[in-house]
Amino acid sequence: MAKAGGETEIKRAMCLWCKGLCGVKVHVKDGRLVKLEDDPDLQRTVWPPNKGCIRLKAAAEYFYHPDRLNFPLKRIGEKGEGKWQQISWHQALDEIGDKLKEIINKYGSEAIAYSEGTGPRTELPLAARFLRVIGTPNYCSQGQICFFPRLRVAHAIVGFHPEFPIKPQTRCIVLLGKEPLITEPYTANAILAAKKNGAKIIVLDPRRTRSAAAADIWLQLRPGSDCAVLMGMINVIIKEELYDKDFVEKWCYGFDKLRERAEQYPLEEVEKISQVPAEKIREAARVYARNHPGCFVEGMGTEQLQNNAQAFHARWVLAGLTANIDIEGGEELLGWHPKVLNPEEVSPRVPFPPDKLDKQIGSNRFKLMSVATTGLLANYTDKVWGKKIRLGDAAHAPLVYRAMLSGKPYPVRAMISVSSNPMITQANTKLVYKALKSLDLYVVLDFFVTPSAELADYVLPSACWLEVPYLYDRAGYNDGVLSGEAALPSVVPGEYEHKDDYEVWRELAIRLGKGELMPWKSREEYYDKLVEPMGYTFKEFVHKVRYAPKKPGFKKYEKTGFATPTGKVEFYSTIFEKLGYDPLPKFEEPAETPVSAPELAKEYPLRLITGGRMREFFHSEWRQVDSVRRKRPYPLMQIHPETAAGLGIKEGDWVWIETPRGRVRQKAEFLEGIDPGVVHAEHGWWFPELPGEEPWLHGVWESNINVVMNDDPDVCNQITGSWPLRTALCKVYKLKSY
Ligand code: SF4
């Protein structure tokens, strides 16, 4: 709160409006935001000033936006009719608590599902604790198309996942479906610094992104063929004996079987699959193998593929062949911070309810992501790191939405969405729409009334990063532990009543008779427990430490082995084998391409990729903030100018993008650096300026590319369950206009 006398205070917060997690000094006067500036004290090993961040500049506009959700709302009309009544928090939580009890008594706790968006927007482990407290395994996460697949595959193959591996010593960086120059300022800065030091940059991307333009080698691959290209590189490295024989012999498992598999990927074949010239793949393999140490940086472009697990497996094989693991400048496996507790280590512990293990929807099919597999992987991390893996399992969202409609495998009757707007961010919007409307209870916690919130029974106003403290270690995968304090009051009587998500979980747990399992009165009290081993309170941590880096230590495996069943880097994955999957990486043609669906391709001749990130917006957010929206007022579909000319499309024309599942419209933007057979559509689009009631729902059916994307479980990756957002067939044509 403001000091008496209206002096300006400077609070040390951490921005969570994207994954940048930038340190910010917040100038506050009389409880109001005055200005923001970079905080150079929140130093990480790679840290940029974010002076250019368009969102940070618009912070006050966002925070005090006239459409910001400021009080709890209860639906008083039909679902989607747009009729709301403002109610008190007390009433909202009482009524939601009663309804949850009713549903649990009638159908069991598994009838309650949860949907979550991107990680730092909420305190994910506390939400996960709440779900365990009430006994539901149906935690749906966008992580399933974002971070979880790469995390789980890395655990299966090498026993940990390294984040932020680029260091000044790094000699080669491979960007796998990643564009950090737009999405991750600190990674971008690290790359630029490494490049200045002479590091080689290799980019696998179908589009000539800014990173691709700056790369030494750009492999412009056919969408979805990442695994094939990586297998081609493996083939070259083995054939030309560019691998580290000593490391492979001592520390890798299954080399002979890998060699046999790699032989199935001669470069001429890989060229046919990927459209990347064989010589370029050979060159990339040589550059990667000879410029040691090197590392991969993975992105959503590969996460959102039907072949994602196999691609990540292949990328770890490359790291193993070249002994790039756990060395300075390579893929350092830092492990968890020794003096910060994992959320599961905090008393009282709340284990996953054993009788619900089999109830997690999708767990018997997409097995790498199941809670049971978390237990399996945890055995090995516990042995090596003394900590158990605790992230990455999830119910399969497409199956959960189907269960809402079909009652199979059992009824799912309620959902709570937090930092999540599934009507925009989940593929197959028509199904999601029907599913959400069918529920007995739908609760949304958010900052604005989104298209998803329009279908809710209760919409609750969330406190944002400016109003809550935060301790962040990316569930243990960050290169250190970051912190920030609450800067602004979350309640200003008569003006707004935002609430920290944790308080909502706690209040609901109390109403369900389980309050003793969420005992901390505030998030800060809970953070006090996490940093207790360091000898600080959370407040002291923010002011005295702010950022606690993990200590580097290299080749730790020489003492402990890797946290895998064999103690080695598993080229041949015994975990995959145990789960019933191919133990070696293998390219499989995605379900909807001209190769796999030639008849369909006659009608839909273009290949559609979606979801490349934009500087202005973070996924489906920020479209209501004028200064930001003015910079990008419309959704844009990138198309090669020659393709556009053939279709009579001029730059700036509105065009339909049609797939076998429907059509939406975006404006054409020309891009020379895209294959003439490929188009790229932006994701996350809705129009807050359009009416909220049906049929409008803020224009959810207009330009939202997920309306036309496929989430059929049969076309999801069978190991990770990820749905394919980067491989669809489409046709594009101009809108008739007058
Ligand atoms: S929105 Fe901007 S300031 Fe905030 S974390 Fe992202 S890059 Fe940093």
| Whether the bond into 605 is cis, omega within 30 of 0 | no
Residue 515 has pLDDT above 90, yes or no: yes
Q: Using the mean position of ligand 1's atoms as its centre, give its distance from the Cα of residue 51 in Å.
A: 10
Whether residues 118 and 251 share a domain: the answer is no
Mean pLDDT within 462-489: 91
Whether residues 433 and 343 share a domain: the answer is yes
Residue 342 covered by a domain: yes
Residue 8 covered by a domain: no
Whether residues 138 and 169 share a domain: the answer is no
Q: Which atom of ligand 1 is nearest to the CA of 14?
A: 5
Q: Using the mean position of ligand 1's atoms as its centre, give its distance from the Cα of residue 463 in Å.
A: 17
Structural domain count, the chain: 3
Nearest to 719 by CA among 518, 565, 585, 552: 585
Question: Residues 85-104: pLDDT tens digits?
Answer: 999 999 999 999 999 999 99
Q: How far apart (Å, rounded) are the C-alpha atoms in residues 53 and 153?
A: 33
Q: Using the mean position of ligand 1's atoms as its centre, give its distance from the Cα of residue 538 in Å.
A: 23
List of residues 6+ apart from 664 with CB closer than 8 A: 656, 657, 681, 701, 702, 703, 704, 705, 707, 708
Nearest to 435 by CA among 143, 115, 106: 115
Q: Using the mean position of ligand 1's atoms as its centre, give its distance from the Cα of residue 540 in Å.
A: 24
In this structure, the strands spanning 414-418 and 547-549 are unpaired
Question: Residues 578-629: pLDDT tens digits?
Answer: 999 999 999 999 999 999 999 999 999 999 999 998 989 999 999 999 999 9
Residue 3 has pLDDT above 80, yes or no: no
Provide the pLDDT for residue 5. 65
Question: Residues 189-214: pLDDT tens digits?
Answer: 889 889 999 999 999 999 999 899 99
Site residues for ligand 1, CB cut-off 6 Å: 15, 17-18, 20-22, 50, 53, 55-56, 185
Provide the pLDDT for residue 561. 98
Whether residues 204 and 141 share a domain: the answer is no
pLDDT band at 391 (very low <50, low <70, confident <90, very high): confident
Whether residues 719 and 708 share a domain: the answer is yes
Provide the pLDDT for residue 122. 80
The count of other CB atoms within 10 Å of the CB of residue 192 is 18
Question: Residues 116-161: pLDDT tens digits?
Answer: 987 667 888 899 999 999 999 999 999 899 999 999 999 999 999 9
Q: What's the domain range around 459?
A: 90-148+338-549
Provide the pLDDT for residue 182. 81
Higher per-residue pLDDT: 474 or 495: 495
Residue 57 covered by a domain: no
Whether residues 346 and 265 share a domain: the answer is no
- % of the chain at pLDDT higher than 90: 84
Q: What are phi and psi of 578, to 5 degrees?
A: -60, -35
Among 56, 470, 474, 616, say which to mutate for ligand 1: greatest number of ligand atoms within 8 Å of CB: 56
Strand ranges inside 244-293, DSSP E: 252-253
Higher per-residue pLDDT: 347 or 571: 571
Nearest to 583 by CA among 573, 591, 593: 573
Mean pLDDT within 342-350: 89
**Contact in structure between 202 and 288 (CB atoms under 8 Å):** yes
Provide the pLDDT for residue 565. 98
> Which DSSP helix (H) or strand (E) runs through 54?
helix 54-57
Q: Using the mean position of ligand 1's atoms as its centre, give its distance from the Cα of residue 167 in Å.
A: 22
The Cα angle at residue 151 between residues 149 and 157, in degrees rounded to 5: 100
Q: Whose CA is nearest to atom 2 of ligand 1?
A: 53
Among 12, 22, 464, say which to mutate for ligand 1: greatest number of ligand atoms within 8 Å of CB: 22
Provide the pLDDT for residue 525. 97
Q: Whose CA is nearest to atom 5 of ligand 1?
A: 20
Residue entry with tokens 């083995």 = 238
CATH (domain of 402): 3.40.50.740
Q: Which atom of ligand 1 is nearest to the CA of 16?
A: 5
Question: Residues 653-708: pLDDT tens digits?
Answer: 999 999 999 999 999 999 999 999 999 999 999 999 999 999 999 999 999 999 99
Residue type for position 550: K
Q: Using the mean position of ligand 1's atoms as its centre, give its distance from the Cα of residue 699 in Å.
A: 27
Question: Residues 628-655: pLDDT tens digits?
Answer: 999 999 999 999 999 999 999 999 999 9
Q: Whose CA is nearest to atom 1 of ligand 1?
A: 17
Q: What are phi and psi of 305, to 5 degrees?
A: -105, 155
Residue 619 covered by a domain: yes
Q: Using the mean position of ligand 1's atoms as its centre, give its distance from the Cα of residue 59 in Å.
A: 10
Residue 95 covered by a domain: yes
Question: Residues 409-422: pLDDT tens digits?
Answer: 999 999 999 989 99
List of residues 6+ apart from 520 with CB closer than 8 A: 502, 506, 526, 529
Among 527, 549, 571, the domain-final residue is 549
Q: How far apart (Å, rounded) are the C-alpha atoms in residues 504 and 85?
A: 19
Residue 370 has pLDDT above 90, yes or no: yes
Q: Using the mean position of ligand 1's atoms as its centre, give its distance from the Cα of residue 587 in Å.
A: 36
Q: How far apart (Å, rounded) are the C-alpha atoms in residues 222 and 302?
A: 12
Nearest to 482 by CA among 242, 164, 9, 154: 164
List of residues 6+ apart from 231 with CB closer than 8 A: 261, 262, 264, 265, 270, 314, 585, 586, 587
Q: Which atom of ligand 1 is nearest to the CA of 54?
A: 2
Tokens of 526: 């809970």
Residue 359 covered by a domain: yes
Residue 430 has pLDDT above 50, yes or no: yes
Residue 49 covered by a domain: no
Whether residues 109 and 233 share a domain: the answer is no
List of residues 6+ apart from 676 with CB closer than 8 A: 640, 642, 643
Q: Using the mean position of ligand 1's atoms as its centre, give its distance from the Cα of residue 631 in Å.
A: 17
Beta bridge partners of 667: 636, 654
Q: How far is CA 458 from CA 489, 503, 511, in A?
A: 23, 16, 17
Q: Whose CA is nearest to atom 7 of ligand 1?
A: 20
Nearest to 726 by CA among 13, 207, 87, 331: 207
The count of other CB atoms within 10 Å of the CB of residue 87 is 17
Residue entry with tokens 């409609």 = 405
Q: Using the mean position of ligand 1's atoms as its centre, give its distance from the Cα of residue 24 in Å.
A: 9
Whether residues 135 and 155 share a domain: the answer is no
Among 14, 17, 621, say which to mutate for ligand 1: greatest number of ligand atoms within 8 Å of CB: 17
Q: Which atom of ligand 1 is nearest to the CA of 21?
A: 5
Whether residues 144 and 168 share a domain: the answer is no
SS (H, E, C) 297-361: EECHHHHCCCCHHHHHHHHHHHHHHCCCECCCCCECCCCCCCCCCCHHHCCCCCCCCHHHHHHCC
Q: Using the mean position of ligand 1's atoms as its centre, give its distance from the Cα of residue 350 in Å.
A: 33
Among 19, 21, 55, 184, say which to mutate for ligand 1: greatest number of ligand atoms within 8 Å of CB: 55
Q: Which atom of ligand 1 is nearest to the CA of 55?
A: 1
Q: Using the mean position of ligand 1's atoms as its centre, give its distance from the Cα of residue 142 in Å.
A: 20
Residue 42 covered by a domain: no
Whether residues 610 and 686 share a domain: the answer is yes
Beta bridge partners of 735: none
Whether residues 279 and 354 share a domain: the answer is no
Whether residues 440 and 452 share a domain: the answer is yes
Q: What are phi and psi of 89, to 5 degrees?
A: -60, -40
